[in-house]
Amino acid sequence: MERVSLGVSVRQWKGKTGARRLRKGGQVPAVVYGHRREPVVVSVESKALRAALHTHAGMNVLIDLDIRANGAADKQLVVVKELQRDIFTHDIIHVDFQAISLEETLEAHVPIVLLGTPKGVVDGGVLDQHLREVLVECLPTLIPEHIEVDVSELVVGRAIHAGELKMPEGVTLLTPPGEVMATVLAPRVEEVPTPAAVVPEAAAAAAPEAAPAPERAAEKGAEKAPAKAPAEGE
């Protein structure tokens, strides 16, 4: 587990107005608490904080905090418990430091890294990762940077659960073992619309009218002339 040093100063300005003033000056408002000590409001240089967190350990990095106040310094080992970011710029606007002891276990969120290409993906399926991290408990020096999961044997319709993780020695999984970490979904098949069945009445109406049958000659011809009247004397 990586370990870095970071200096902070006890804040003189408090409240929203003080916090805005600090941020304009390149500082981030923060608080230090835990391990049987009273909370202390401090400020930390924004660039120094980003550098401390820019390690392989990420949020789980161990920080030797140098708390300065009125010329005096107080040393405290901490971890970052919570970060708040601006919803538009994503800049860090507040940080909570939790004081810890190397001899006491703590809870930490550890990223999950998927390895391999699932067989189900080769067959056309889609890999869906449900969990990006798991919650564990261990000593601060045993916090894993990440936990690897081999998904190469995963087929369509199958899933890997948190309980199947191989935890490093000294690390206890706190995430419920039944939580799905990753699964392979069946490929989406586009439905081809089938033509609607033709209703007999509609078919009859749509059919062209049949040509009239030819009339019989007797019906088609002119009417017969009346019989000739008999001549006189016949």
DSSP string covering 53-110: H-STTGGG-EEEEEEEETTEEEEEEEEEEEEEE-TTT--EEEEEEEE--TTS-EEEEE
For the domain made up of 107-185, give the CATH fold. Answer: RNA Polymerase Alpha Subunit; Chain A, domain 2 (2.170.120)
Tens-place pLDDT, residues 17-65: 888 889 989 999 999 999 888 899 999 999 999 999 998 888 899 999 9
More confidently predicted of 229 and 160: 160
Tens-place pLDDT, residues 92-133: 999 999 999 999 999 999 999 999 999 999 999 999 999 999
Tens-place pLDDT, residues 145-178: 999 999 999 999 999 999 999 999 999 999 999 9
**pLDDT at 206 exceeding the cut of 70:** no
Confidence band (pLDDT; 50, 70, 90) for 203? low
Burial classification of residue 220, based on how many CB atoms lie within 10 Å of its CB (0-12 exposed, 13-18 middle, 19 or more buried): exposed
**pLDDT of res. 168:** 93
DSSP structure class, residue 52: H
* Residue among 65, 66, 102 nearest 80 (CA): 65
Residues of the chain with CATH 2.40.240.10: 3-100
**pLDDT of res. 214:** 52
The model carries a pTM of: 0.73
CB 119 within 8 A of CB 151: no
**pLDDT at 202 exceeding the cut of 60:** no
**pLDDT of res. 221:** 47
**pLDDT of res. 233:** 44
Quote the CATH superfamily of domain 3-100: Ribosomal Protein L25; Chain P (2.40.240.10)
b/e burial code for range 29-43 (CB count within 10 A of at least 16 → b): bbbbebeeeeebbbb
Residues of the chain with CATH 2.170.120.20: 107-185
More confidently predicted of 94 and 228: 94
Number of C-beta neighbours around residue 99 at 10 A:
18
Query: Above pLDDT 70, what percent of the chain?
Result: 80
**pLDDT of res. 209:** 55
The two three-digit tokens of residue 156, written as one number: 């369509």
Confidence band (pLDDT; 50, 70, 90) for 207? low
Backbone angles phi, psi at 59, to 5 degrees: -70, -15
Dist CA 194 CA 188 (whole Å): 18
The two three-digit tokens of residue 94, written as one number: 């507040």
